[in-house]
Chain A
């Protein structure tokens, strides 16, 4: 039996951050599902209700942190999987920057949306 089953390079920084974000996401994603499906229901979501939640600074910060960690974890996972499939050289550089740009757009868009709910009008 092998000692490691992970697809990441052992002890690397990306490996470590993948674990740290995973531990955080396990809690926050469960909370997210629970809140929006069991406490409230998905078909009851309205702008007013999202706003009411987002106007609380704790909820707003948690959602922004959720957005950033989920993006990092997901995109880092995809990038790592592609490296495992044999991505190297110029192609790797191109893919890497494409993923970085896509993540940046996702985060900016997510923050703008969160601000719209919270009634913050910068950005």
Chain B
């Protein structure tokens, strides 16, 4: 039943020029997944300044949020998260056998939607940083 499809070794990133849409989706999903776990560890480290008291926590967050780099990185994080969520939902559907034939189109849709949501969020994310 489960028939295999010879896509060549995708782990061999040197072949990127020959990648099809589904292979790009796979690479992006990996990359965004790793960024998100990395962020999670950093996030808890920053938040746990709350253990040293209210002033330490509020001070740390306010200082970080006052930096333009942090704001820009947050926009990046949003883009990464939105793509991972949308593409993740796409993968869940594909696993259920829904939309197998149009999996290229749904990948492009994920990309476009990610771009749109990110751009639309920039003003809110950057507000007050200057």
Q: Contact residues of A with B, CB < 8 Å?
A: 1-7, 10, 19, 22-23, 25-26, 29-30, 33, 37-38, 41-43, 45-48, 50-51, 67, 70-71, 74-75, 77-78, 81, 84-85, 102, 106, 109-110, 112-113, 116-117
Q: Are A4 and B51 in contact (CB under 8 A)?
A: no
Q: How many residues of B contact A (CB 8 A)?
A: 50
Residues of A within 8 Å of B58, CB to CB, are 45-48
Enumerate chain A residues within 8 angstroms of B125, measured Cβ to Cβ: 37, 42
Contact B62 A113 (CB under 8 A): no
Tell me, yes or no, whether B94 is within 8 Å of chain A by CB: yes
What are 5 A-B contacts defined by CB distance under 8 Å? A38-B124, A42-B125, A77-B33, A81-B33, A109-B45
The list of the 8 closest CB pairs from A to B, nearest first, reads A2-B5, A74-B37, A47-B54, A43-B65, A46-B58, A113-B48, A47-B57, A116-B50
CB atoms of A84 and B54 under 8 A apart: no
Q: Are A46 and B61 in contact (CB under 8 A)?
A: yes
The tally of CB-CB contacts under 8 A between chains A and B is 113
Supposing A106-B40, A110-B44 touch, asked if A26 and B88 sit within 8 A by C-beta, the answer is yes
Is there an interface contact between A5 and B22, defined as CB atoms closer than 8 Å? yes
Main secondary structure of the interface of B (DSSP, over half): helix
- Residue numbers in B under 8 Å from A51 (CB-CB): 54
CA distance A46 to B121 in the complex (A): 22
Given contacts A5-B26, A48-B58, A81-B30, 9 further A-B contacts (CB under 8 A): A3-B2, A5-B103, A6-B95, A22-B92, A30-B85, A43-B129, A74-B36, A106-B40, A110-B47
Residue of A nearest to B39 (CB): A74
Q: Smallest Cβ distance from B99 to chain A, in angstroms?
A: 12
Q: Which residue of A lies closest to B101 (CB)?
A: A1
- Find out whether the CB atom of A43 lies under 8 angstroms from the CB atom of B47: no
Residue of B nearest to A74 (CB): B37
By beta carbon, the residue of chain A nearest B50 is A116
Minimum CB distance partner of B78 in chain A: A33
Cβ contact within 8 Å between A42 and B11: no
CB proximity of A21 to chain B, nearest CB, Å? 10
- In Å, the complex CA distance between A38 and B125 comes to 9
Q: Establish whether residues B40 and A74, one from each chain, have CB atoms under 8 Å apart when the complex forms.
A: yes
Which residue from A2, A71, A85, A113 sits with its C-beta under 8 Å from B40? Answer: A71
Task: Type the 1/0 row for B15-30, where 1 means its CB is closer than 8 Å to any CB of A.
Answer: 0000000100010001
